[in-house]
């Protein structure tokens, strides 16, 4: 019998306010094969954020001790704070045949491109800069000065779009989530992601 295709990382990047956390929340709820990679960060929790759920909130000392031990698949400094993805968590989930979705910036995504970890990279973007600005203002969590800074960074991040595999326009959340689900389904069906489909179909044993 043909076994399910190999699991992979689902890397989502978007400008701040691009809507990736809403997409991720829906994705985790609706796709039973996807787990979420909780990042480590040195920034302080905001609002309702909880340690171990939204992030692992750590001191700079702990962050760099982990980095020294080789605990991170990638790290990046974003808005002056450190962020990192736990390699042990990712390996453990991929080994169980589960996909791991993550919300990381363009610097982190670029670092993962240089590893052998199977992945699909998706860039999420609102329909226009004007809409991004309106969403950041409506969110009400940042000062106008901070919003202008985020928009300037967004402008820079757009330059990395060619390094991604897919682009999802987040106009309607429901459609954007469906687009991401469709990408995952297409990736699962790539011939290269299967183990040895012909041999498995024929019932032949193989070393893998
Ligand atoms: P926030 O502090 O607003 O939650 O996230 C700020 C930025 O850090 C976002 O662009 C988010 O994608 C990015 N980020 C969150 N976790 C990680 C991570 O583990 N690695 C990297 N490279 N970026 C991250």
Long-range contacts from 91-99, C-beta under 8 angstroms, 24+ separation:
93/7, 93/35, 94/7, 94/8, 94/9, 94/118, 96/7, 97/4, 97/6, 97/7, 97/33, 98/7, 98/33, 98/34, 98/35, 99/7, 99/8, 99/9, 99/10, 99/31, 99/33, 99/34, 99/35, 99/184
Element (H, E) at 172: none
84 Cβ inside 6 Å of ligand 1: yes
pLDDT at 207: 57
Answer whether residue 3 is part of any domain.
Answer: no
How many angstroms is it from 59 CA to the middle of ligand 1? 16
We report the CATH number of the domain holding residue 155 as 3.40.50.300
Answer whether residue 196 is part of any domain.
Answer: no
Chain-centroid distance of CA 7 in Å reads 14
Answer whether residue 94 is part of any domain.
Answer: yes
Give the closest residue (by CA) to ligand 1 atom 11.
104
How many domains does one find in the chain?
1
Answer whether residue 186 is part of any domain.
Answer: yes
How many Cα atoms within 13 Å fall on the side-chain side of residue 129?
Answer: 11
Answer whether residue 141 is part of any domain.
Answer: yes
Answer whether residue 76 is part of any domain.
Answer: yes
Answer whether residue 203 is part of any domain.
Answer: no
98 Cβ inside 6 Å of ligand 1: no
pLDDT at 206: 56
> How many whole angstroms separate alpha carbon 62 and alpha carbon 64?
6
Q: What residues make up the domain containing 148?
A: 9-191
Full pLDDT tens readout for the chain, 208 residues? 999 999 999 999 999 888 888 999 999 999 999 999 999 999 999 888 999 999 999 999 999 999 999 999 999 999 899 999 999 999 999 999 999 999 999 999 999 999 999 999 999 999 999 999 999 999 887 889 989 998 999 999 999 999 999 999 999 999 999 999 999 999 999 999 999 999 999 998 655 5
74 Cβ inside 6 Å of ligand 1: yes
Answer whether residue 205 is part of any domain.
Answer: no
């Amino acid at each position: 019998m043909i076994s399910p295709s190999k699991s992979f990382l689902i890397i989502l990047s978007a400008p701040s306010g691009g809507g990736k956390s809403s997409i991720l929340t829906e994705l985790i709820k609706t796709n039973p094969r996807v787990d979420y990679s909780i990042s480590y960060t040195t920034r302080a929790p905001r609002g309702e954020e909880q340690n171990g759920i939204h992030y692992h909130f750590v001191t700079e000392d702990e962050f760099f001790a982990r980095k020294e031990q080789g605990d991170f698949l990638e790290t990046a400094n974003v808005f002056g704070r450190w962020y990192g993805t736990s390699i042990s968590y990712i390996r453990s989930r991929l080994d169980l045949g589960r996909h791991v979705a993550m919300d990381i910036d363009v610097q982190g995504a670029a670092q993962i491109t240089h590893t052998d970890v199977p992945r699909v990279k998706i860039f999420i973007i609102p329909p226009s800069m004007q809409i991004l600005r309106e969403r950041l203002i409506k969110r009400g969590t940042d000062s106008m000065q901070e919003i202008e800074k985020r928009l300037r960074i967004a402008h820079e991040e757009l330059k990395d779009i060619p390094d991604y595999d897919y682009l999802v326009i987040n106009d309607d959340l429901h459609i954007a989530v469906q687009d991401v689900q469709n990408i995952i389904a297409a990736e699962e069906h790539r011939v290269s992601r299967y183990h040895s489909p012909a041999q498995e179909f024929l019932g032949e044993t193989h070393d893998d």
